[in-house]
């Protein structure tokens, strides 16, 4: 007989089975009654009889505890084991998505690439013999240069014959250009080496002349034309310090013993500054101690910034304490001058070429020269006279650049102060600065301003295209590739004569005009 119709199932959670192809259809069928009402379409096959346990489970699914527990314990996302699928070879042509088969990504050997190129173009490539390939220079094309000869990946269109030929031509052109650059650089290196060897030979021969002929007869030969010409070419490093000491002189009559005295005083002050001061100090004493402490702190700061690329004057370097001693002893020797920024560069150059006591003697006498004393004591009236004399010869030698500077109101103090304070040892490479010092010891302060005009002449074309800001920045930090030959050729072209007046005469006339102006404006004459 026909089984009785089931009561409609109570509301519960839908049984979802993700293993089926259509989860929605399966859940719908399971929630529908087993027999369709009359008038409906009969099922294609009768449903299998259900077990009593299955009916009981379905009847009891409406229970609150059972339904929630089964919901939380049911595995909604069943694990699927990965099935290994055989790799399907991709058809040639465009392939926007999907992986390229592994065998198509294998790197090709260079011989295979060459064989494919020869088969495609019909040209045979014969490599040059090893002797011709590496004859005078060693040249290796960059590894990325030959990538242009590679075939495209399989997921991109293949190269045509014309494109392959064009790429081969471009590759040959790149190799040829790289070879030209390599040859040019090799010739440049050879030229530099030849010039260096020639310079070393000249220095060696000049050293023999200085040691055997000039230095033993210094007073009689220093002013001769032969010695002056040899001096202009640069002093040999082995005799440079000795010649500097003789040229600068010792008008102050400083002895090594005197240096030790002032050095001991400086060390005592450093020790007293490190100790706490007593409360009974007067205001003047406190002020003077503060000034000296500021000066010593400035020395420490400047020493760390002196030739930082050499790493020999920084803390822990071999010349750090030596430079500190020379500068500290000078502040005790000349308290009226004290320490001024820029002194550390001058003292460092002297230390590199002289012994400690000799460096201090040359340092003290060098700063006692009128020009250095005016700048380091910040004598504004004297500094303005030096600037005025410089502008006289600036206008005489470089009129076009002089007018260009005037149009921007660019005065000499903007770039000359740093050059004079450090004697070009900060602005120029060290070897070139030492050669400037050589001729400065021969010619005196005039050569400092002549060197400044030589620098302006060397970079005249560049400076004419700059404005105020760029000119000031350029002259503050000169290019590092400046060579002594170019600079000294420009210095030699500078004529230090104005209306048949030399530097000393022009400066003396400016001093005379200044004194007359001071007399005319003095209160005594007015009264």
Each domain of the chain, given as residue ranges in start order, spans: 161-233, 238-275+286-366, 375-516
Check residue 81 and give its pLDDT. 46
Question: Greater confidence, 306 or 141?
Answer: 306
**Which of these, 379, 349, 347, lies nearest to 364 by C-alpha position?**
347
Judge whether residue 87 has pLDDT over 50.
no
Check residue 449 and give its pLDDT. 96
The mean per-residue pLDDT over the stretch 41-63 comes to 48
Question: Greater confidence, 446 or 112?
Answer: 446
> Ranked by mean pLDDT, which of 122-136, 395-409, 497-511 comes out on top?
395-409
Check residue 304 and give its pLDDT. 85
Q: Tens digits of per-residue pLDDT, 209-228?
A: 999 999 999 999 999 999 99
Question: Greater confidence, 109 or 319?
Answer: 319
User: Considering the chain, what percentage of its residues have pLDDT values greater than 90?
Assistant: 46
Question: Greater confidence, 237 or 30?
Answer: 237
C-alpha to C-alpha distance for 486 and 493, rounded to whole angstroms: 11
Stated length of the chain: 527
Fold agreement between 238-275+286-366 and 375-516: no
- pLDDT category at 162 given cuts 50, 70, 90 is confident
Check residue 294 and give its pLDDT. 56
Average per-residue pLDDT for the chain: 77
Question: Class for domain 238-275+286-366, per CATH?
Answer: mainly alpha
User: Which CATH architecture fits 375-516?
Assistant: Orthogonal Bundle (1.10)
Give just the sign of the alpha carbon dihedral 254, 260, 264, 270. positive
Q: b vs e for 421-457, b when ≥16 Cβ sit within 10 Å of the residue's Cβ?
A: bbbbbbbbbbebbbbbbbbbbbbebbbbbbbbbbbbb
The mean per-residue pLDDT over the stretch 391-418 comes to 95
Judge whether residue 57 has pLDDT over 80.
no
Q: Tens digits of per-residue pLDDT, 232-279?
A: 999 999 999 999 999 999 999 999 999 999 999 988 888 776 655 444
Q: Tens digits of per-residue pLDDT, 305-363?
A: 899 888 899 888 899 999 999 999 999 999 888 899 889 999 999 999 999 999 999 99
- pLDDT category at 488 given cuts 50, 70, 90 is very high
Check residue 381 and give its pLDDT. 93
| Chain position carrying tokens 């001769």 | 224
- pLDDT category at 134 given cuts 50, 70, 90 is very low
The mean per-residue pLDDT over the stretch 394-401 comes to 95
Q: Are strands 497-498 and 501-502 parallel, antiparallel or unpaired?
A: antiparallel
The mean per-residue pLDDT over the stretch 521-526 comes to 43
Q: Using an 8 Å Cβ cutoff, are 250 and 365 in contact?
A: yes
> Ranked by mean pLDDT, which of 74-88, 252-266, 497-511 comes out on top?
252-266
Question: Greater confidence, 167 or 330?
Answer: 330
* pTM of the entire predicted model: 0.64
C-alpha to C-alpha distance for 92 and 102, rounded to whole angstroms: 15
The mean per-residue pLDDT over the stretch 398-418 comes to 95
Q: In the structure encoding, which two tokens stand for residue 13, read together? A: 């959670």
Judge whether residue 293 has pLDDT over 90.
no
């Amino acid at each position: 007989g026909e089984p009785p119709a089931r009561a409609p199932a109570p509301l519960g959670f839908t049984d979802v089975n993700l293993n089926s192809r259509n989860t929605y259809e399966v859940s719908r069928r399971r929630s529908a009654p087993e027999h369709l009402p009359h008038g409906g379409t009969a099922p294609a096959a009768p449903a299998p009889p259900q077990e009593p346990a299955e009916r009981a489970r379905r009847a009891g699914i409406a229970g609150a505890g059972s339904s929630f527990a089964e919901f939380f314990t049911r595995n909604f996302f069943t694990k699927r084991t990965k099935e290994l699928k055989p790799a399907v070879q991709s058809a040639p042509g465009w392939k926007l998505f999907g992986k390229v088969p592994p065998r198509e990504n294998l790197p090709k050997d260079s011989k295979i690439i060459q064989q494919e190129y020869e088969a495609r173009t019909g040209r045979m490539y014969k490599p040059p013999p090893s002797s011709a390939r590496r004859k005078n220079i060693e040249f290796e094309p960059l590894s990325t240069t030959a990538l242009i000869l590679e075939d495209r990946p399989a997921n991109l269109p293949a190269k045509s014959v014309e494109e392959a030929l064009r790429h081969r031509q471009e590759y040959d052109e790149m190799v040829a250009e790289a070879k030209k650059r390599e040859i040019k650089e090799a010739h440049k290196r050879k030229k530099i080496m030849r010039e260096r060897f020639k310079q070393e030979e000249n220095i060696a021969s000049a050293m023999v002349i200085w040691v055997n002929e000039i230095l033993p007869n210094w007073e009689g030969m220093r002013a001769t034309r032969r010695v002056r010409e040899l001096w202009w070419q640069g002093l040999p490093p082995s005799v440079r310090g000795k010649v500097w000491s003789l040229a600068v002189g010792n008008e102050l009559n400083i002895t090594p013993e005197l240096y030790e005295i002032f050095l001991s005083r400086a060390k005592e002050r450093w020790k007293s500054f490190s100790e706490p001061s007593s409360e009974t100090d007067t205001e003047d004493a406190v002020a003077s101690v503060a000034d000296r402490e500021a000066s010593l702190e400035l020395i420490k700061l400047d020493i760390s910034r002196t030739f930082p690329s050499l790493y020999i004057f920084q803390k822990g370097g071999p010349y750090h304490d030596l430079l500190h001693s020379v500068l500290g002893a000078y502040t005790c020797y000349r308290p009226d001058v004290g320490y001024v920024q820029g002194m550390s560069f001058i003292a460092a150059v002297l230390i590199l070429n002289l012994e400690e006591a000799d460096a201090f003697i040359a340092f003290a006498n060098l700063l006692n020269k009128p020009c250095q004393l005016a700048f380091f004591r910040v004598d504004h009236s004297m500094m303005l006279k030096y600037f005025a004399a410089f502008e006289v010869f600036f206008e005489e030698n470089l009129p076009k650049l002089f007018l260009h500077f005037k149009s921007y109101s660019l005065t000499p103090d903007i770039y000359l102060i740093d050059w004079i304070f450090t004697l070009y040892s900060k602005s120029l490479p060290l070897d070139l600065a030492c050669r400037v010092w050589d001729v400065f010891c021969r010619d005196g302060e005039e050569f400092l301003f002549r060197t400044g005009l030589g620098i302006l002449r060397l970079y005249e074309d560049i400076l004419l295209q700059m404005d105020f800001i760029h000119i000031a920045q350029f002259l503050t930090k000169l290019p590092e590739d400046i060579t002594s030959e170019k600079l000294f050729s420009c210095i030699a072209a500078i004529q230090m004569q104005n209306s048949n007046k030399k530097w000393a005469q022009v400066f003396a006339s400016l001093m005379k005009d200044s004194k007359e102006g001071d007399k005319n404006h003095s209160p005594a004459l007015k009264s």
